[in-house]
Homo-oligomer: A and B are copies of this chain.
Amino acid sequence: MSKQQASLPVVDLNADAPCCPPLAQRRIPAETAAVLAPALKALGDPVRLQLMSMIASAEGGEVCVCDLTPAFDLTGPTISHHLKTLRESGLVDAERRGTWVYYRARPQILRQLAALLSVEPAPAAQP
């Protein structure tokens, strides 16, 4: 097997380097949009955005579900459902240790999205 195959995903969401130039710099191709849109969609819900923030900002890099659930006026299954969405988008990872399940962020994808949305610092009145 060669290192790169044609069937490899067009965009590698796990790469450390930005996968693509900023959205405002060049028109992004349909394939890139199809890969990145689901991650943005996953963050497009207030509950999931807060969950993502709680996980990503957690000390030690991980947080127990038992600490996430009481922070919302939602039932356990609903929180679990949102966490599953974040998991399937590749934004977080879960691991069971004994009784509890711990979630941790995958900063690579956040970096990809931040790079995608980045804009030049300012319109900068041209000289």
Contact = CB atoms under 8 A, between A and B. Distances in A.
Contact of A107 (B24, B34, B114, B115): B24
Contacts of A122: 16
Nearest to A42: B44
This protein's copies in its complex = 2
Given A41-B44, A45-B41, A119-B107, A33 B16 contact: no
Given A28-B50, A33-B50, A110-B119, 11 more contacts: A23-B110, A24-B56, A24-B105, A28-B53, A36-B49, A37-B43, A40-B41, A40-B43, A56-B119, A110-B117, A117-B117
A86 interface: no
A120 to B, nearest CB: 8
Interface of A is mostly: helix
A118 interface: yes
A53 B117 CA distance: 9
Interface residues of A, number: 42
A97 interface: no
